[in-house]
Structure formats: structure tokens, C-alpha cells
Amino acid sequence: MFTGIIAATGTIQHLQNNGSDVRLRVNVGKLDMSDVALGDSIATNGVCLTVVEFDQHHFSADVSSETIARSGFAHYTNGQGVNLEKAMLATSRFGGHIVSGHVDGVGEVKSIEDKGKAVEIWVTAPTDLARYIAEKGSVTVDGVSLTINEVNGAMFRLTLVPHTLQETIIGGYKPGSRVNLEVDVIARYLERLMLVDRAADTTKQTDISLAFLAENGYLNKG
């Protein structure tokens, strides 16, 4: 598990296509590797990757076809900057929100505007993820835990302070940049729990709707 608080930025040095998956090698920048062991997890642009080789300045990991299909890794090349976070310890401060490192989809940066020292960014999420995006809720963007300040359909607005812009790859975003998104895991489990006995029935519609909420007492039918 991760918190979405980025420890360092790194750079992809090598991508090796092995047919159905990819082996990548990452220069970790200032990330402290002194306590890393084989098999540890490092979130790389929000994707939980398992360390298969490492030294003081690098680590290698395999990226599965599932991860490639669901994340921006399909478009990454050598020199790609990445946000890095080691898996949290039980004794760590929980500074962000619950981040699993399982990317749900790829969003697109639509606009960037300076607001004083901060920057406002509008991002479009895939349509099937829009229902998990809530104003003042949390979202993970390339591994960074961020607060959603406004929602407009499948689009949402983020406000980035200078520290976040300096310490992550977000400072290099441009309109059209593709970003890994992980929605709040609590929202996903809440949706599943609200389906109750319908969750295992493949013959019924399983999407949460206003009618379903009203039927189960979550909305006033009147």
C-alpha cells in the first residue's frame, strides 16, 4: 500500500519488450534505496511494481500486459520522467490517502492555468471512472495523492502548490499529457457493497443508478 506522497522523481532508462510484457530499468534519482530488497514494491507513476533487480541508483521491474493496457506505460519511452514512492511501513505517517498502486485508467490533461503561485489543472477521466470522481474527494494522478476541487462531467479540477510542482513530474505537464489515474478505493468497495446480493448475479444490471439508490433508501423517492 502507498500514500500518494512522492519521495523522488526518476527516469526510465531502458524498456525491453519481452513479447507479452516489458522489463524496465529506472534511475531512481534521490530515492533512498538503502532499505530496498528484492520483491519490494515501488510505485512508479502510480503503478505498483515489484523490484527484480536493483543497486544504489536503479531498479528493474516487469510490467505485465494488463498494466500496459490500463496505464500510460503503453506510451512511455526511454527518458520518461516518473514519480516514485516506496511501499509504506506500518510506522509511516499517512500523509495522503489509501493508494493501492493499481491504476484504473488513463486520463488526459485538458488545460493548465496559473493561479498566483499555484497552478490549476483540468483533467478528463475515462467515462467509466467518472462516477468515482467527487468534489473534495481524493484521486491519484501519476501516483500523487490530490484533492479534487471541482467536477464537470468526466472532467475534474486540481490545484497544485509549488512544492508539488517542484517535487513531482506534474510540473512538466502540458495540455494533452496522458496521466495514470487511480480512483479512491473506498468508493469502489462502497459501490460493490451497495449492490448486496446483486453483485454475484451476472443477469442483472450492476451499475449504481439513481433509481437503485432510491429503491434502497439512499435517496428520498419523493
Q: Where are the domains of the chain?
A: 8-86, 105-184, 185-222
pLDDT at position 209: 56
Calpha distance 32→8 (Å, rounded): 9
Q: Would 8-86 and 105-184 be classified into the same CATH topology?
A: yes
CA distance 101 to 79: 22
- Residue-level pLDDT at 166: 95
CATH fold of the domain at 105-184: Elongation Factor Tu (Ef-tu); domain 3 (2.40.30)
CA distance 80 to 11: 6
> Does residue 43 contact residue 179 with C-beta atoms inside 8 Å?
no
Residue spans of beta strands (DSSP E) within the chain: 8-17, 22-27, 41-44, 47-54, 58-63, 81-86, 105-115, 118-124, 138-141, 144-152, 155-160, 178-183
| Beta bridge pairs of residue 15 | 24
The architecture in CATH of the region 8-86 reads Beta Barrel (2.40)
Across the chain, which has 222 residues, the per-10-residue mean pLDDT values are 94 91 96 96 97 97 93 93 92 81 95 95 96 93 96 96 96 97 86 68 56 56 48
Q: What are the residues facing 60 on neighbouring strands?
A: 25, 53
pLDDT of residue 216: 58
Instruction: Read off the amino acid at residue 42.
Output: I
